Every structure is written in C-alpha cells, then in structure tokens.
Amino acid sequence: MQVVLEEESLRDGLQAESRLFSLTEKMEIVRLLAEAGVRRLQLGSFVNPRSAPQVANTDVLAALVRRQYPDLLCTALVLNEKGLERAVRSGLNHLSMSISVSDTHSLHNSGRPAAEALEAMAELIARATSEGLQVRAGLQCAFGCVTDGAIDEAIVLAAAARLAAAGASEINLADTTGMAGPHQITSMATKVRKAHPEVEVSLHLHDTRGLGLVNIYAGYEAGVRIFDVAAGGLGGCPFIPGATGNVATEDAAHLFQGMGVATGIDLTLFCRVVDYYEALLERRLPGRMNRALQGATTGKDACAS
Ligand SMILES: [Zn+2]
C-alpha cells in the first residue's frame, strides 16, 4: 500500500449523529469496509458512555472485530486513564490519543488549558507505550480554531515534540475546524516530518470549507502517507448549516487512484458502505464519488436534481 486511508466513519463520523448505531449495524459496516479493502479503521472512543452514547459499545465492538478480522489495524480514541484501561481490556494494541492546541477548544473539550492537557496526554502516552501499546498522538485545531483564530506553528511543533518524546509513534495533525489551506498543510507537515523522522506524520482533515481533497494532495506532496477519511464524508455537526465532515473515503480513494497511488480500496465495493450508511441515516451524504458512480451505472446525469 502506498497510502493508508484510516476509516473514521465509526468514530468521528457517527459522533455527530443522533441515531444510535447498534453493534450488529457496526459489525455490518466493518464487514463492508473490510471487503472494500480498508485495512485501518478507528472503531470508536473509550469515553464516558453517558456523555457519548453513540460509542458506548466500543469495548464489545473492538473485541469482536479483533477476533473476526485479525488482519485489520484497529484503533480507538482514548482521552484518559479510564479509557486506557478499557482499551487494554478490549485487546486493542493501537490507540489514538488526542488533545487540542487551542486553549478555548481544549477547555471546552477536556476542561483544561492546552498546556495542561498536553502534559496529561504525554503521561498517558508514556504509560500506554510502557505497556507495549502503540499510540498515535493527535493535535486538534493544529491549523486554526474558530474561537482562538490562527494557531502559531511554533505551538504545534512544540506539542508534537513533547508527544513524540513521550513515545508516540505517529503524530496526527488535525484540521478539526476545516480551516487549513494547502500552503499551511505543506509547511506544517514538512516541518513536523523534518523534526521527527522517527515518527509517522498523518493528517486528519475536515472538508468544512471545501479544501479537504486539495489539502490531502498537499499533504501527499509533502510526504504524508496516512490520511483520516470517513465514508460518505460523515462527520461534522448536522445542526450547523453548511458544516461538513471528514473528507469522504471514496473521494480520497478516487484521487489517489487517478494519481496511480495504491490505497487498497475498491471504489465500487466501497460505495456499498456509503449506501448502507445512507439507508440507515435516511439521507444523502456529501461525498461525491458514490453519486458519480451511481450516475455512471444508471446512465442518469448525476448532477441533475
Ligand atoms: Zn475530526
């Protein structure tokens, strides 16, 4: 595989949805994803089930998927010690941990300013890696925050250095608010890669302002080879007009296919995942390629409304 697309629809995608997905439905999604060639996926979050009922079944889901699909690289989001204990019990050996580099966003999300959250996360990473787990450390709002505005590159670089030193094997730069542009992606990805050749650098991009695919392309050109994506472009908040989610997996797979870069994903098979989500959610998702391919097979103009 020349590029790894990490499927985030079950975590980032569904966290914005009010319809709760059952274990059976999630297992069907995993089956469809695996059949379409997805090899790495984020299954959910080990957070308080009362505040996030959508991911309350992550423990059972992780254990089941690990058993039935031993070849998949499965990961889940962990934000604190309790979450780490649950992750260990579920049998996952790859975890995603994440903090925000924006103070306001960090306070809102974790109840702590960014610097405090960074230290707590570094300790958690050190603990997880000492138990033999692999950790990807995410920096949310790395390219700007809707409330705090631009985030200084030096802050992001210092946070990346702290988390790499704590033992993270991958630094995930997240454009949580969809504010990044390609030049920012190029600059930041290049600097983090140069400063930490020992860690992987991955990108988590939201398509809120329509620059998702352009940013993926910029990241690829800057040497990034792992990108977070979600089927159909799931994610974002359905209550904010115009807000959209992650870059659609099928659109990213199509981009790389056109570039002759292998992702392992079969586009036609992948569209079954999008169809399944659309049937359960009873609405069309923003990703383009499912619609384009449907138009191609039915002979209808996919652009007609
Ligand atoms: Zn996200």
Point out the residues that are catalytic: 237
17-42 burial, b if ≥16 CB within 10 A, otherwise e? beeebeeeebbebbbbbbebbbbbbb
Whether the predicted pLDDT of 52 surpasses 60 = yes
Whether the predicted pLDDT of 130 surpasses 90 = yes
pLDDT digit string, tens, across residues 61-118 = 999 999 999 999 999 999 999 999 999 999 999 999 999 998 888 888 888 999 999 9
Q: Compute the distance from residue 24 Cα to the ligand 1 centre, in Å.
A: 24
pLDDT class of 239 with cuts at 50, 70, 90: very low
Q: According to the model, what pLDDT value does residue 240 have? A: 46
* Spatial distance between the Cα atoms of 62 and 87, rounded to a whole number of angstroms: 8
3-state secondary structure the chain: CCCEEEECHHHHHHHHCCCCCCHHHHHHHHHHHHHCCCCEEEEEEECCCCCCHHHCCHHHHHHHHHHHCCCCEEEEEECCHHHHHHHHHHCCCEEEEEEECCHHHHHHHHCCCHHHHHHHHHHHHHHHHHCCCEEEEEEECCCCECCCECCCHHHHHHHHHHHHHCCCCEEEEEECCCCCCHHHHHHHHHHHHHHCCCCEEEEEEECCCCCHHHHHHHHHHCCCCEEEEEHHHCCCCCCCCCCCCECEHHHHHHHHHHHCCCCCCCHHHHHHHHHHHHHHHCCCCCCCHHHHHHHHHHCCCCCCC
Q: Compute the distance from residue 255 Cα to the ligand 1 centre, in Å.
A: 20
* Spatial distance between the Cα atoms of 293 and 147, rounded to a whole number of angstroms: 38
C-alpha closest to that of 44 among 33, 59, 30: 59
Ligand 1 ion: residues within 5 Å (CB): 12
Q: What is the mean pLDDT of residues 183-204?
A: 97
Q: Compute the distance from residue 245 Cα to the ligand 1 centre, in Å.
A: 7
Sign of CA dihedral 68, 71, 77, 81: positive
Percent pLDDT > 90 in the chain is 82
Q: Compute the distance from residue 291 Cα to the ligand 1 centre, in Å.
A: 23
Q: Which amino acid is at 267?
A: L
Beta carbons of 166 and 123 less than 8 angstroms apart: yes
The tokens for 91 are 């049998």
The tokens for 121 are 């996360």
List CB contacts of 110: < 8 A, sequence separation 6 or more. 79, 99, 100, 117, 120
Q: Compute the distance from residue 77 Cα to the ligand 1 centre, in Å.
A: 11
Q: State the chain's mean pLDDT as an integer.
A: 93
Q: What is the CA radius of gyration of the chain?
A: 18
Residues forming beta bridges with residue 205, ordered by sequence position: 175
Q: Compute the distance from residue 179 Cα to the ligand 1 centre, in Å.
A: 12
